[in-house]
Amino acid sequence: MSDHEFTRALGYANAALDLLKKSGIPPYPQFYELLYTYATGVNPSLNHRINALFSSGDSPTTSLAETLYNEFLKSDVNDRMSTVSERMQARIEAVHSAIDQAMTTANAYSGSLQSAQGDLERDISPEALKALATRLLAETRRMQDTNRSLEQKLEASREDIAALQRDLDDVRRESLLDPLTKIANRKSFDEGLRTAIAEARQTGNSLCLILVDIDHFKSFNDTYGHQTGDQVLRLVAMTIKSNIKGRDLAARYGGEEFVAILPNTDINGASIVAENVRQAIHGKELLKRSTNEKLGRITASFGIACFHPADTAGSLIERADRCLYAAKHAGRNRVVTEDNLAEITEQTRAGVTAA
């Protein structure tokens, strides 16, 4: 973890503890997680609910905190996954039961045939032969009915299992998406980066990482409100996503930070992508939907690092974060790569920053 990332995380932690203290809510792990998540702003629905409570003047209580935790942070995805798994298990058990029933009937039918074979090998009267044929016919029809019932149950199970598989796929996709911006979330990014690093190490192909931070976002959010802030986050997310292609991955890293993984891309190619995104963000004038008020333009800062054979995910992120930190200190609204990090840092120390 870089110094910049550590400082940011520590700020979220201190904000969460301050809110716990002011509200008189005990600092149990679940309540700390609740207010830490609120401080990061990664769950817009939670933030909207808590902001509404603060605006109404209601005093937070332990009971209310428990309610909010259960509603927003208890793993809804895990609950849904568990529900689908239980349905899948029930359906599998139903299939096994149907098969067992069919096997029992088939074994009984096989026994009847063997018994009939023994009877036929002896001399039997026409009346006994007729009775035997009638019995075998009835058992054959019962076997046919059992087979039809099994086929119907298997077909219904096949359809149910296919639907359950779709539900599982949906749950997995949702677990990898940021609910606000609809691009990949931090979990998806972590998985994607591990995969990209493993592939780059195996093939020797280039791999670059871009970190993006919206400039002065907290001030903008406080001035124009969280709904407008959410609009900005969605705008930046879609701008990044629309400027990457193929196997590239855009993700929300946390709060107002985003990240892009660019396999098979060198530092120059990554710089072009970042510059295109930077210009596209700066080129959009914001409009407050409720009032049509023009809010001006936003900018973002970018840090880029390229994978080296000795890198881990952590070391690659840390270098990109150092570049992002340098871009912030050099005046924001710029792209800093590993290649020009030393130059930008020296200019900043010398007091030479771009407007």
Clarify whether residues 280 and 133 are in a common domain.
no
Domain residues for 284? 186-349
Share of the chain above pLDDT 70, in %: 83
- The structure tokens listed for 253 are 């890293």
204: in domain: yes
The C-alpha angle with vertex 255 and arms to 250 and 259, in degrees rounded to 5, equals 20
Clarify whether residues 215 and 242 are in a common domain.
yes
Q: What is the CATH number of the domain that holds 286?
A: 3.30.70.270
pLDDT at 355: 36
Q: Is residue 81 classed exposed, middle or buried when 0-12, 13-18 and 19+ CB atoms within 10 A define those classes?
A: middle
Clarify whether residues 190 and 330 are in a common domain.
yes
126: in domain: yes
341: in domain: yes
> Residue 212 forms beta bridges with which residues?
258, 302
Clarify whether residues 170 and 241 are in a common domain.
no
180: in domain: no
Clarify whether residues 170 and 193 are in a common domain.
no
pLDDT at 48: 81
Domain boundary among 30, 53, 74: 74
pLDDT in tens, 131-172: 877 877 887 888 788 777 777 777 776 676 666 666 666 666
Clarify whether residues 143 and 201 are in a common domain.
no
pLDDT in tens, 197-231: 999 999 999 999 999 999 998 888 788 877 788 88
Secondary structure class of 124 (helix, strand, coil)? coil
pLDDT at 134: 83
> What domain count does the chain have?
3
CB count within 10 Å of CB 133 equals 11
- C-alpha distances in angstroms, 265 versus 25, 248, 273? 49, 9, 10
CB count within 10 Å of CB 245 equals 9
355: in domain: no
Clarify whether residues 271 and 134 are in a common domain.
no
For residues 262 and 215, what is the distance between their CA atoms, to the nearest angstrom? 23
- The structure tokens listed for 31 are 């309540």
Domain boundary among 74, 96, 130: 74
Pairing relationship of beta strands 207-214 and 257-263 according to DSSP bridges: antiparallel
Clarify whether residues 24 and 150 are in a common domain.
no
pLDDT at 352: 54
146: in domain: yes
Mapped to the 3 state alphabet, what secondary structure does 29-71 carry?
HHHHHHHHHHHHCCCHHHHHHHHHHHHHCCCCCHHHHHHHHHH
| pLDDT lower than 50: segments of the chain | 353-355
For residues 84 and 79, what is the distance between their CA atoms, to the nearest angstrom? 9
Clarify whether residues 310 and 327 are in a common domain.
yes
Clarify whether residues 51 and 94 are in a common domain.
no
Domain boundary among 175, 205, 234: 175
127: in domain: yes
354: in domain: no
87 membership: H or E segment, kind and range: helix 76-120
249 membership: H or E segment, kind and range: strand 249-254
Clarify whether residues 98 and 62 are in a common domain.
no
Nearest of 310, 337, 304, 314 to residue 200 by alpha carbon: 310
Clarify whether residues 250 and 117 are in a common domain.
no
pLDDT at 119: 67
